[in-house]
Homo-oligomer: A and B are copies of this chain.
Amino acid sequence: MKAIGITKSLPTSDKNCFIAFETEKPMPEDHDLLVKIHAVSVNPVDYKVRQNAAKDEELDEPKILGWDAAGIVEAVGNEVSNFKVGDEVYYSGEYDRPGCNAEFQLIDSRIAGHKPSNLSFAEASAMPLTSLTAWEAIFDRLRLRKNGESGKKLLIIGGAGGVGSIAIQIAKKLTNIEVIATASREETSNWCKKLGADVIVNHHELTQEMESANITEVDYILNFSDTDMHWDAMAKLIKPQGQICSIVENKDPLDLNKLKNKSASFHWEFMFTRSLFKTEDMIAQHKILEELRLLFEEGSLKSTAYKTYEGLDTDVFREVHEFQESGKSIGKNVISYI
């Protein structure tokens, strides 16, 4: 099968930052599905791994990147009970296994879901990683209650990005909370409004912006942007006993004491935790993807695919990674193989 990978961590300005190669089509065992991939999407994790996985020395074998994908099941392992050959699936993969930048891929059936029938493969491939991240952050970390948050306020920092775009929808549709989303350009601001955000504020000068919007404090904060940059603002804006969740590693030490007098909580959300540690509740991700499927099918949630590219091709990946790294990306960037 054809695959695209890296042997060295190179900038996208380098023509050789991705290489195409032939490798053996893998065989599914145990819980695995063999999936013929139709479309994939690119997330920040893709370029972060590209930038760091082979920084110090060249790899002996190319590493196949890519996590979000949608495709058709070609074969199943012995332990698989929830999927059969021919099923259309979508999933966000595992951090420590070969990725979806290839014609075929093995994926643990406990973290895959049936593709929403009303979404194309491209539209579906845009969703798993960001939706799982947003869902886990909202329901497993912050613990918002379904239909139980009216009167409460949620601040989403980085509303127009991949995770922000689906988090706005999930929070609005499923919890009745008031959503304040940050966006700094007209285009991203309109995008957030269209997705359902009640209030838009600029994340430059966040505390002043919130003051102008007459919002002194919020019950919950989801940070999908720079954790260091927004730390002081988050500490100031969070209500006593409030909950903050972030998905972005901090670079410098943070003053955790700023949350002390408020008895506030800080949660990390890392979508790969369940599969990486093979937690007892790993199957939760399968269930979440199935629940999301129904929400897409009934029209409550919309795919956040914004730009679509074509071809399992090194130049295409180079272009998408470059755009993603620029920070100007809105919603999701998708690459259709077929």
Contacts and interface: CB of A to CB of B under 8 A. Distances in A.
Contacts of A143: 143
Contact of A279 (B241, B250, B266): B241
Contacts of A136: 263
Contacts of A257: 249-250
Interface stretch (A27-35, A43-51, A268-276, A330-338): A268-276
A268 B272 CA distance: 26
B263 A141 contact: yes
A256 B250 contact: yes
Nearest to A277: B240
A308 interface: no
B262 A265 contact: no
A263 B141 CA distance: 8
Given A250-B256, A277-B240, A279-B240, A265 B265 contact: yes
A249 B262 CA distance: 12
A153 B256 CA distance: 25
A273 B266 contact: no
Copies of the chain in the assembly: 2
A136 to B, nearest CB: 7
A268 B265 contact: yes
A141 to B, nearest CB: 7
A189 to B, nearest CB: 30
A16 B219 CA distance: 46
Nearest to A95: B261
A95 to B, nearest CB: 9
Given A249-B257, A250-B257, A256-B254, A268 B262 contact: yes
A140 interface: yes
Interface in A209-265: 240-241, 249-250, 253-257, 259-265
B141 A274 contact: no
A281 B276 CA distance: 39
A68 to B, nearest CB: 19
A84 interface: no
A263 B254 contact: no
A146 interface: no
B253 A276 contact: no
B253 A277 contact: no
A204 interface: no
A137 to B, nearest CB: 9
A140 B249 contact: no
A15 interface: no
A287 interface: no
A268 B273 contact: no
Contacts of A55: none
25 contacts: A136-B263, A141-B263, A240-B273, A240-B276, A240-B279, A241-B273, A241-B279, A249-B260, A253-B253, A254-B254, A254-B256, A256-B256, A256-B268, A259-B268, A260-B270, A261-B270, A261-B272, A261-B273, A261-B276, A262-B273, A262-B277, A263-B267, A263-B269, A263-B273, A264-B267
9 A-B pairs with least C-beta separation: A253-B253, A263-B273, A240-B277, A265-B267, A260-B268, A263-B270, A266-B266, A240-B273, A249-B257
